[in-house]
Structure formats: C-alpha cells, structure tokens
Amino acid sequence: MTRDSEQSERSERSDGSGLSDGSGLSEREALAAFCAVLPRLRAMLRGPASRARRAAVEQVVLAARRGEPVGELLAGLGMYEDVPAGAGPSRTTLPTPVAEDRPARVTGVYLCPLGTCPRAEERTAASELPACGVHDQALRFVADR
C-alpha cells in the first residue's frame, strides 16, 4: 500500500464514509464478515415481518456488486458495532466440535472470487464449498505453496 492510499483510507474512516471508528473493522473487513454470514442472514430474514431488514441487506449486496462503498450501509444494519470483550453469539445451531472428530484439512484457502473483500475461508474435507453471497459465486481456491 502506498503512502497516499494509506492516508486516503485513514481519511475515509475518519470522515464517516466508512464504518464508525468504534467498530475496529475496516470497510473491507466488515464486508468480508458480512459475506460470511450472508446465507445465514438471508435464511433468518425470510418472511413478511423481516421485509424491511431483508431489503436493507440486499441493498448492501447490490452496492458491493457495483463496487460502491458499503460502510455506511453495513453500519446502518447495526451488525458491526462494538461488542463487549468476551461476548460472542449467545447461541449456535451446532454443538461445539470435538477436535478428534474433525476431518483432515485440505491445504489451501478460499478467497473472495473478485477480490472485493479480504474474506479467506479454510475448508475441511467434509465441509461444503464456501460461497460469496455478494457475488453469488463460489470462493476461489488458492493452494498452499
């Protein structure tokens, strides 16, 4: 990253065009986190009661596809505000995995298909192919060297 682009990125975060300074995430990192939870988020927002929230989520997706800034839209969803230390999701749909039962790891990492965000996913032998909900494509595989 050049000095000019670093200064530009810093000014984007401080002038309110990116995520709030309190979030600790850059816009690209927040987009990667959003992309990772998008399928689950869409599943949770099915039904007529979630129409407005679902529309806001799809607005983020469309803006990301067009290459527009999504920081304010993500902040508007309230998904990436400060979380108290030690706080995490209050519940999960799956039990905590046992280390001995995990399948062998596939060497390599899956990245955002168009390089829009820094999302990186590792895949185990028994897991599904990770997908990008923003671009509706599978993540691209980059093998370990």
Compute the distance between CA of residue 9 and CA of residue 68 in angstroms, rounded to an integer.
15
| 3-state SS class at 116 | coil
Q: pLDDT tens track of the chain, all 145 residues? A: 444 444 444 444 433 333 344 456 788 888 888 998 999 989 988 888 888 899 999 999 999 999 998 888 888 888 765 433 334 445 556 666 566 665 655 578 899 999 999 999 887 778 888 999 999 999 998 887 6
Q: Is residue 42 part of a domain?
A: yes
Tokens of 120: 């990186």
Strand order in the sheet with 140-142: 120-121, 109-111, 140-142
B/e letters for 87-97, b = 16+ CB within 10 Å, e = fewer, are eeeeeeeeeee
If one counts the domains in the chain, the total is: 1
pLDDT at 104: 58
CB-based burial label for 110 (10 Å; 0-12, 13-18, 19+)? buried
Q: Is residue 27 part of a domain?
A: yes
Range of the domain at 63: 18-77
Q: Is residue 105 part of a domain?
A: no
Q: Is residue 143 part of a domain?
A: no
Q: Is residue 85 part of a domain?
A: no
pLDDT at 80: 64
pLDDT at 26: 83
pLDDT at 24: 63
Tokens of 110: 């899956």
Q: Is residue 90 part of a domain?
A: no
